[in-house]
Amino acid sequence: MTFRTRLLLIFTFAVVVAVGLVGSVVWLTTRRAFERVENQRVGTVVDQFRREFARRREEIARRVERIAGAETALDLAIASGGPEPDYSPYVNEAPALAAAHGLDFLELAAADGSIISSAQWPARFGYKAAWLSAAGEHGAFLQREELPEETALALIAVRVVSAGDRKLYVAGGEKLDPGFLKTLALPGGMRVLLYRNLAPRFSASLLTGDAGPLADAARLEALIEQVRTKHREASGTVRWTPDAVGAEVFHAFPLLGREKNLLGVLLVGSSRRELAELQRLLLWTALLTGAAGILLAVALAGWATARVTRPVEDLARAAREVAAGNWHVHVPVHSRDEVGRLGYAFNRMTRQLSQQRDHLVQTERVAAWRELARRLAHELKNPLFPIQITIENVQRARNLPPDQFDEVFRESTETLLAELANLKRIIARFSDFAKMPRPELQPVNLNEVVSGALKVFQAQFATAGVEPKVELAPNLPLAHADPEQIGRALQNLVLNAVDAMPQGGVLTVRTLTGEGSVRIEVSDTGEGLTPEECDRLFTPYYTTKTHGTGLGLAIVQSVISDHGGRISVESAPGKGATFRIDLNPASPAESA
């Protein structure tokens, strides 16, 4: 992960955390404020509903009062006396009066409770309503009413019409049904449900709203049960859908009958939809604002981090170039701050390094020339000394008899020719090192290269008492190499190994797959090398042998380096040495 990315992430994290914290605090505070306001509204509306319900009771009582005060009721009260009163003319009075006064229920009953006329169940004439005598003339109360096909709840008021010693009961009211609930004035977002407590246990079919039976009524069971068991108001929240929009707060009121028995539960529901939608809007606004803020902050952070890291990246790039050998790199300095001072220091460092390298190169070049001169002198001195001795022997043998002189001359010329050949060979080796050609890279099977290189040395292995061991990897990938140059480099290593085992030994050549490379290893069982020797082994003209130019391993390293590969040695005194060549594998396209 780059420094810029890390810096950007830190900035972003800090901004997100800050925005999130601020947003959460604002949202929670606002939400609580809204909920407080909403609860106050619900409380107000519930109070309003209570007043409306009480008003309806009074209204029912007034209507019944009007019926009781009408002439018809008085006539009926008068007619209800006598030993065998004939009620048949009045059997249809109650339906007509109920319709005229907008009541669902109306029963006219004689003093003994015998129903003279019934609006809700006209067929019930003659039956007795014993409860009437105990009802009293109060406001409307809740009453369970039997109907032909159902048992209903009704708000009933009772009035007594007296005509002398004769009495007529007028019991009228309204049915608590969806129609009644519809007539209740409620603000938007609120509704009223009625549970008729007509069964010993909760039954969903007994719960109705103003549009009829309520779907999924079982969700209100717990609240209704609470009211049923405690006969006290209760409230709770019901979630009709998984999200908050479907939440609804219910206030449940017990509806008690005349004898304080629980006949129903009235539930006033206040939908949380509006609040939830407001909260959702608030949340989305906060999220979008926060997201926009974060994006803006990230953009600014990106710009700022770019400003901070660009000089650092320039420095890093320059450092990489320095590492690659380009010491003349120069980073631009745009500021005078710490980064600017760092860039200035880097430029000064590269400048000094460059100067020091030039100096070092010159020094090394002089040293190289000296070493070359020394080696040349040494190499050339060896053949020159026999040549000089031979020539002096010839000069001294000039006075010898001809046959002896011939003998000396013949031996001397042979020696001279041999030493001249030796000089030529030395010169050719130096010439080869100078004229190292560029490799022609191609996919190469190193197993074949190894096999080809070792064939040359079969006779020499026998002479030197060296036992060759070849371990070739069966599925070796192709290498990206010049087979000719790799072959020569390998021959050089083999020759080197044979030289390292003057008493004979085991020469092991193996191929294997390295870490992202194709590897050749050449091991011997010779004396081995010291760490210092290992360090200097690939230096041109360095050799541990009594003969040779010291260019062999330098040439090998040059060849491997030209291939983009790497050569290393692992050795310890007395434990032989192992040379490893790692080459780049051929690309799949090349391999194909």
Partner 1 sequence: MLPTVWRLAAVLSLLALTQTAGAAGRPRYGGTLRVEMRATVAALDPTEPGDAGSRLMPLVFDCLVQIDGQGRPRPALAVSWTHDPDHRRWRFRLRPGVRFHDGSVLTAGPAIAAALTAALPGYTVTAAADALAIECPRPTPGLLLELGRLGYIYSRSAEGVPTGTGPFRLAALERGRRAVFTANQEYWGGRPFLDSIEVSMGRSPREQWIDLEVGKADLVELAPADVRRAADRDRAVWSSAPNILLAIVFYDGRPADTRVREALARSIDRAAIHNVLLQRRGEIAGGLLPQWLSGWEFLFPSAPDLPRARQLAAALPPSGRTASLAYDAGDPLARAIAERISLNARDAGLTVHAVPGNARADARLALLPVASLDPAQALPDLAAALGYKNWPRQDRPEDVCGSERTLLEGGRVVPLFHLPEDYGVSPRVRVWQPPAIGRLGGWRLADVWLDGDRQ
| Binding region for partner 1 (CB under 8 A) | 86-89, 91-92, 121-127, 148-149
| Residue pointed to by tokens 């391999």 | 591
What is the smallest separation between the CB atom of 69 and partner 1, expressed in angstroms?
24
Distance separating alpha carbons of residues 309 and 302, to the nearest angstrom: 10
Kindly tell me which of 122 and 548 has the beta carbon lying closer to partner 1. 122
What is the smallest separation between the CB atom of 141 and partner 1, expressed in angstroms?
25
Distance separating alpha carbons of residues 48 and 323, to the nearest angstrom: 86
What is the smallest separation between the CB atom of 99 and partner 1, expressed in angstroms?
14
Distance separating alpha carbons of residues 566 and 245, to the nearest angstrom: 70
Kindly tell me which of 127 and 131 has the beta carbon lying closer to partner 1. 127
**Which residues have C-beta within 8 Å of that of residue 48, sequence separation ≥ 6?**
187
Kindly tell me which of 91 and 353 has the beta carbon lying closer to partner 1. 91
What is the smallest separation between the CB atom of 77 and partner 1, expressed in angstroms?
18
What is the smallest separation between the CB atom of 87 and partner 1, expressed in angstroms?
7
- Yes or no: say if 176 and 197 are a contact pair by the CB < 8 Å rule: no
**Which residues have C-beta within 8 Å of that of residue 184, sequence separation ≥ 6?**
49, 52, 53, 56, 192
Question: Where does residue 405 rank: exposed (0-12), middle (13-18), buried (19+ CB within 10 A)?
Answer: middle
DSSP 108-173: EEETT-BEEEESS-GGGTT-B-TTHHHH-S-S-EEEEEE-SS-EEEEEEEEEEEEETTEEEEEEEE
What is the smallest separation between the CB atom of 89 and partner 1, expressed in angstroms?
6
**Which residues have C-beta within 8 Å of that of residue 411, sequence separation ≥ 6?**
none
Kindly tell me which of 122 and 443 has the beta carbon lying closer to partner 1. 122
Kindly tell me which of 152 and 192 has the beta carbon lying closer to partner 1. 152
Stated length of the chain: 592
What is the smallest separation between the CB atom of 160 and partner 1, expressed in angstroms?
23
Dihedral pair phi/psi, residue 527, rounded to 5° = -70, -25
What is the smallest separation between the CB atom of 123 and partner 1, expressed in angstroms?
4
3 state DSSP class of 128: strand
The residues pairing with 157 across neighbouring beta strands, listed in sequence order, are 172
Kindly tell me which of 87 and 327 has the beta carbon lying closer to partner 1. 87
Kindly tell me which of 120 and 485 has the beta carbon lying closer to partner 1. 120
Kindly tell me which of 121 and 131 has the beta carbon lying closer to partner 1. 121
Q: State the distance between the two ends of the chain, measured CA to CA, in whole angstroms.
A: 35
